[in-house]
A and B are shown apart, each in its own frame.
Chain A
């Protein structure tokens, strides 16, 4: 500004000096009233009369203009034209500089300033006890433009100092997951020594930038990977659809939650980005920082997860699957294990196997890794089987069939059915076997039917439902059984606060009609569909979460929406929002007496299984072995306890894990052991005491 000031002073003083000199000269001159040369008064200059001169007459162009009034008129006309032209200019200036000046000023400001948003610190994700599950850490990263691949020898030099193979570096640089135009990350967590070396040799590493970035950090590794999820750059679709988001807005390049809790609680975690306003020139280069609004960090989110138990369930699930595989279930490679807090409905632990390392996915997934994680032989580790895996419920479903039977009077009093191992109520060709065939359970009542998982008993229940409400003309059929089953949380999302939950399926005649439009014989609802559904087979599909949720509802005698959100903590550690326990709007209908009978049956199951004896509380549960076409049976076990003051409900599913009572049961057992701090030793699949009990 000093230079401008000097210039202004120079300009003004030159002007003033010239004016003063001119005025002084004018003053001196003004004393002479008449022109000393022409003898004419100076004041007459403006009205110098050419006609005076004209009279003198001269030859050729030596003579003054002739013409008098006419030519004088032309000068006046010219003057008038000038007046009009410059009057127009002045009016136009007035409209631009006075009337619509604000508009232009805004445009000028808009021209010379650019707002750059500064990312806010993302909130942490904690477990119910405040243990960090995801946090932030600073990392020194090397970034570059993709074009540095063309610099000869640069990748080689980087490979040497970083100790990373050239192929990996090239793949990192080609990785456009963060956006095609974005800087590519060559390497994370570069040691200070390497950074110093690169700084000392700028010519060798031209185009390589050293940046400090905040990275998501998973202190517990891949524990709870599926629940926690991961972050990544915002996608074009999200940018386009953000109009529907009312509060927080995305910007290109923002980091957002992609899956799991990171996705579900993104708006709490993200915080509000700050804004830096720069003065820029016409090429967009920043000249100076004009204004800065500090970003507001996101709040921390506590999940209902108990990280200690979660670590255990992750391990237990993996070991259970390995144990299943080593006991003749060669195809057992995947499974799910969930532990619900019965009182609150919170998820204490949820494990899905195979799993993945979420740290590999932050900042965008490379196509190589994506391929690796989604190919068939990988068993899809990204799938959270707990909430999105759909399986036949198998015998675990019998508890709900029982409730239905009791509620609608299908199972009345001490009704018994005879099990001969084979059931041919609908004719020999439609005959159905009990799992115990050849053989039979004999005459069984409800509790023993649950205990021994007698299929024939439940076929009879199904047949009764069919007879009463389905063996009718089409328009009089009623989905009484299915509608009741839905009130226990099946065939719809439980509404857990995690993305990607499966809906499951409770088949009805109408569904079947629509599901097979091209094969009329298959689209017909058969009595066998109903009897199959009663033992959890056929077209019914459930998620492990739905099963655990259903048993938790039995345990607490009330339906509560399962959830993972515990509370929000602000920067200063104050609780901002906590989860409120609210019973579900739709509650299953039942009598306490009916429920007690089912619970009695479930307790008999566990009591028969002596292996639960180390657990210091009463447990009620049920095994299941799901038949899946073309695959080995899927193993289920679900249990809750303590029975008289329920706290925990654990469900375990092993894909192609064989008998539920020999493999899946171990996952549940060891989870309870972990809860009650009992050491049981290594997990080994057992030969069931009542061999093949389902």
Chain B
């Protein structure tokens, strides 16, 4: 099995085999801006994680490095793999994502953490299957919508696609993990948007979702009162919304986390307290400082300058992945890149936004930075998909011409 179709093509081709031409081909299949940006992000992220978990025996830096290592291997494999082979597997992809999403609901397998059953325990390993469902969701969405070639005008077609895309979203909501469900929803909407769904259907969908949200809130209030049990929207979820609406509502109670998070960020100042001076994390005032609130650790140590540097790196990443979307040889590849970008945009905005009280608090990690190997692997899978889209941006048809 040749490592790259590019090499295969070279063998089959009539051109002279030489090292220089091989090197050129390999280099051409690499998107250097993507490499730079992710390398920088990764180095920055590892530095922050290292400083955050240094004195805490609950975390191991080596685990994070292992995640990166395995991720690199997967990324390399996907780079060589022609993503287009998956274009006809829309339904198998849906089935696999649904399986992963519903796996924690299997009795005896799921582990309930913080009110959501989104972890499974398998042979002593703890995994979040819904994390791995994210790239599958992107692939499924791209395969489903891609075949419309940029125009979904027929309402029946649109709502069929929407309905199918909503299945994994509903699956995640059953866990219930609202944060991850939102990620799935955003990916679905981005793919539909980029895939050329008619504007009126999109607007209708958004209006419908708002209506559904209002209905659910009303129904929840009704059921809670009538049954006297906490149904549908759970108490802690309502509290998060309350805190989002009023950041200072209960500084020692439900808004404690947000308050500590804001203190960490604000105290960073323009240039930060310096490396290793993340007192809010070091002294345990910050909750989940290695995972969900890792941004605060960065912000306190490196200040506004360091925070903006991170945001700039992310914006570069989005820009590069959008150029890859443009460069894709087919709508499937374009939508993969768009879906990956959409997912990252949501993750980054939601995570940083929640640490500052601009978004409600959810357990959405920061790509390439947060501690945790599941999501690290997922990011490398997404990177691998982008690489694959880039590496296979040329097409054989061009040569035929």
Contact = CB atoms under 8 A, between A and B. Distances in A.
B240 interface: no
Contacts of A10: 50
B353 A25 contact: no
Contacts of A79: 318-319, 322
A4 B358 contact: no
Interface in A49-93: 50, 53, 56, 58, 60-67, 70-72, 74-75, 78-79, 82-83, 85-86, 88-90, 92-93
Nearest to B21: A36
A316 to B, nearest CB: 63
B190 interface: yes
Contacts of A37: 6, 25, 28-29, 394
B330 interface: yes
Interface extent on B, as a size class?
A: 35 or more
A108 B260 CA distance: 8
Contact of A7 (B54, B334, B358): B54
Given A19-B40, A64-B330, A103-B266, A86 B280 contact: no
A162 to B, nearest CB: 40
A234 B338 CA distance: 69
Contacts of A46: 323, 326
A168 interface: no
A18 to B, nearest CB: 4
Contacts of A26: 32
A62 B143 CA distance: 10
A129 interface: no
Interface string B260-297: 10111111111000011001100111000000000000
Interface extent on A, as a size class?
A: 35 or more
B27 A25 contact: yes
Interface in A10-47: 10-12, 14-15, 18-19, 22, 25-26, 28-29, 32, 35-38, 42, 45-47
A65 B196 contact: yes
B84 interface: yes
B206 interface: no
A53 B329 contact: yes
B303 A97 contact: yes
B385 to A, nearest CB: 15
Tell me if A's interface is mostly helix, strand, loop or mixed.
helix
Interface stretch (B41-49, B109-117, B376-384): B41-49
B12 to A, nearest CB: 14
Given A15-B39, A62-B84, A85-B349, A38 B331 contact: no
Contacts of A4: 51, 54, 275-276
Contacts of B327: 45, 48
A66 B284 contact: no
B326 A48 contact: yes
A112 B300 CA distance: 14
Nearest to A57: B397
A101 B315 CA distance: 25
B358 A89 contact: yes
A244 interface: no
A445 B31 CA distance: 130
Interface stretch (B91-99, B146-154, B174-182): B146-154
A66 B147 CA distance: 11
B283 A287 contact: yes
A372 interface: no
15 contacts: A4-B54, A15-B47, A35-B394, A50-B334, A61-B332, A70-B150, A74-B193, A78-B341, A89-B352, A96-B266, A97-B303, A107-B263, A108-B300, A282-B284, A283-B284
Given A67-B196, A86-B349, 14 more contacts: A10-B50, A11-B50, A15-B40, A22-B35, A22-B39, A28-B27, A36-B25, A38-B393, A47-B326, A66-B151, A75-B322, A78-B322, A79-B322, A93-B299
